[in-house]
A and B are shown apart, each in its own frame.
Chain A
């Protein structure tokens, strides 16, 4: 079973929930995929022993100047402004390239050779208990998160429980994380920001036609509109976690919620059982 943990708004507690689920699982095979490659933080709580670090690169073109006739076919095909041709000068901006391969295919002179651009690293290891852990780390300065998220997802177990920690937002990196999950938990907080961004995130799941429910973090902030909205739209609220200074302090130091307040372990285990039905 694949469970994605997402949210429109950042900082609502996705990582806390993802780590709690992984630690509360009673199944032998549990894997946590940290797909928030721009700001990966699950390792802080799981403290994994790293087995492998693998650099992920994209194929990008390099021009073989002697072969190029400056016909501009590549420039015309490229939708990402990665190639410029003026007079007898051709330039490739490899940081703009999405690696669609079009320029290689369209060039009548075979004037491109393969170069590569490092986009980040995939780290694999084992966390607390026997949790299998995979994390993507976007190289600082790299714009494209999606191919790295795909690289992380390609390491997902076929069986067992797979938890995916998504980045915030509603655009392509989020879609690429939650797509195909059996269930998605949207973590939010009861504030107008939390509600606004929950509606957007719910919109993503509705558009994908995938089932989802809500976890309300810092549930005692006193703004009732989020729950009202959930009820009205038949979105189940699976868990409410009130603000607790002890939890916030533990979080700051990298302690998982289920270790700070042990009875949460049962609540998350129960939730997993419920979701597996």
Chain B
């Protein structure tokens, strides 16, 4: 079983569009959507939810006003500026990181720790294989933990059903959820676009892949929107011996396929679809070598 992780650094470069099409090409795969705070993959693969679970993570501190004497110990100790003092202490849910320091040191034992219901996660069936996905509630912490959970579940599921591939749609950026998504990945497919922002964010992502000693390959999406910039990216990749697995042209059909709620490859046979189709054997070869 091999796992491919689709990332981009910069958002909106086409990760989900490409992931959905890979799902169609890779036979016998499990899909995992690790973009847990703005997941979109389900919009293209129409999952039929089989199992739904709550995601409890961490705790939030809450003051019992009956016990609080307003001494201010909690406000003094909190490093996250989550406590404001009036006559009593008040703890702001959005700022609280659940470190429990306030509760531990409150002389009146006036702070309760409530478990956090931070989201849900699902196991679903799709036309293209089983899928593990999740939804972090708005404004919640611990997206990294939810990503780890989605990854663990998708791996177990893949082992159970003897899947050959795990295809992971990753979050944007390079922080906590992205770092969590690296564990167990055999290859990162970095999706970029021919813009200064795209290249800059790609470089940071590649550095991160080096940091975790994970192989990386790149595809340039909408490459023909700026051919000279595309060249610049290609030179960078060549200099750093990073394989370029596809140049996908701009294709209006990509948007139409989103509206139709289908993977691009199922929707059309245009130039972009063609480029993705040709990319898969290259990725397959990298994973199997």
By a beta-carbon cutoff of 8 Å, the part of chain A in contact with chain B is 8-12, 15, 37-39, 41, 44, 77, 79-80, 98-102, 105-106, 138, 140-145, 167-175, 179, 191-193, 196-197, 200, 203-204, 207-208, 221-223, 245, 248-249, 251-254
**Contacts A168-B38, A168-B172, A171-B143 known; 7 new A-B pairs at CB < 8 A:** A8-B37, A12-B11, A38-B175, A38-B178, A172-B140, A173-B175, A191-B258
- A-side contacts of B180, CB under 8 Å: 143
Q: Which B133-165 residues have C-beta < 8 A from chain A?
A: 136, 138-141, 143-144
Task: Tell me whether B197 and A171 are in contact (CB under 8 A).
Answer: no
B208 within 8 A of A: yes
B37, B43, B201: the one contacting A200 at CB < 8 Å is: B37
Instruction: Tell me, in angstroms, the Cα distance from A3 to B176 when the chains sit together.
Output: 26
Q: How far is the CA of A168 from the CA of B197 in the complex (A)?
A: 14
* Contact flag A10-B140 (CB < 8 Å), given A102-B104, A193-B40: no
Asked if A192 meets B43 with Cβ closer than 8 Å, knowing A38-B173, A138-B175, A140-B211, the reply is yes
Residues of B near A170 (CB, < 8 A) are 37-38, 136, 138-139
Contact of A253 with B229 in the complex, beta carbons under 8 Å: yes
A11 touches B12 (CB 8 A): yes
Interface status of B10 (Cβ within 8 A of chain A):
yes
Q: Find out whether the CB atom of A102 lies under 8 angstroms from the CB atom of B211.
A: no
How far apart are the CA atoms of A207 and B105 in the complex, in Å? Answer: 30
Bound Cα distance A252, B8 (Å): 16
Chain B interface (Cβ < 8 Å from any Cβ of A): 8-13, 16, 37-38, 40, 43, 58-59, 77, 79-80, 94, 97-101, 104-105, 136, 138-141, 143-144, 171-180, 194-197, 200-201, 204, 207-208, 211, 225-226, 229, 255, 258-259, 261
Q: Are B175 and A145 in contact (CB under 8 A)?
A: yes
Please, which residues of chain B bring their CB within 8 A of the CB of A38?
A: 9, 172-175, 178, 204
